[in-house]
Amino acid sequence: MMRWLALLALMSGPAMAEEVGRVGVDWTGNDIIVDAVADPLVQGVTCHLAYFDRSILDRLSQGNWFEDPSNSAIECARTGPIRIGDIRRGEKGEDVFSASRSLIFKSLRVKRIYDEKNQVLIYLAHANELQEGSAKMAISTVALEPGEALPAE
């Protein structure tokens, strides 16, 4: 049953974000947006991702039309009983969410890494850029209770 749910989640693509907050930060109309992102393969975990959204006026005054800053923040929490689907193991983890931050070359990603030894799910928000990598990142963890962890391989 869990593999079937995992397959359905993968076929539907990465997680969808639902805007749950928007805070104006200046007179030009720039905002900080807060999205809720439910992990499609880990039932019971929801991440809240905050990022900067540039206004048209800011884009006109700065001259950079096609790009938003890479800055982001993330916090993930247990929002119900945790059921882990067929997630990828290993240090590279797997993408949970991705959103474009420029016309072509930059995206904001959330990656899940399973720390099997410590029984923790790690969620890493980072910018992914084609040309020049960014050191801007944020991290959040969700500790698993006994019985929620994946069996050892």
Per-residue CA distances from 40 to 44, 67, 78 (Å): 10, 28, 14
Residue 148 covered by a domain: no
Provide the number of structural domains found in the chain: 1
pLDDT above 70 (res 10): no
pLDDT digit string, tens, across residues 135-147: 678 999 999 998 8
Positive or negative CA dihedral for 42, 15, 127, 21?
negative
Give yes or no for residue 5 having a pLDDT over 60.
no
Is 150 a domain residue? no
- Residue 12 CA neighbour count, 13 Å, CB half: 13
Residue 152 lies in a domain: no
Task: Give me the mean pLDDT over the 10-22 stretch.
Answer: 70
Say what the pTM is: 0.76
149 in any annotated domain: no
Look-up of token digits 């994946």: 150
Residue among 5, 76, 68 at smallest CA distance from 36? 76
Query: CA torsion, points 107, 46, 85, 2, in degrees to nearest 10?
Result: -120
Helix (H) or strand (E) holding 64: none
Distance CA 96, CA 6 (A): 12
Instruction: Say if 151 falls within a structural domain.
Output: no
Q: What domain range includes position 101? A: 2-143
Structural domain contains residue 64: yes
Which are the contacts of 116, defined by CB distance < 8 A and separation ≥ 6? 89, 149, 150, 152
- The model's pLDDT over 54-88, given as tens digits with 9 standing for 90+, comes to 656 655 666 665 555 567 889 999 999 999 998 99
In a domain, 65, yes or no: yes
Residue 57 forms part of a structural domain: yes
Q: Please give the sequence-ordered ranges of beta strands (E in DSSP) within 57-119, or none if there are none.
A: 72-84, 94-100, 106-115
Q: Which residue has better confidence, 16 or 145?
A: 145
Query: Distance (Å, rounded) from C-alpha 153 to C-alpha 151?
Result: 6
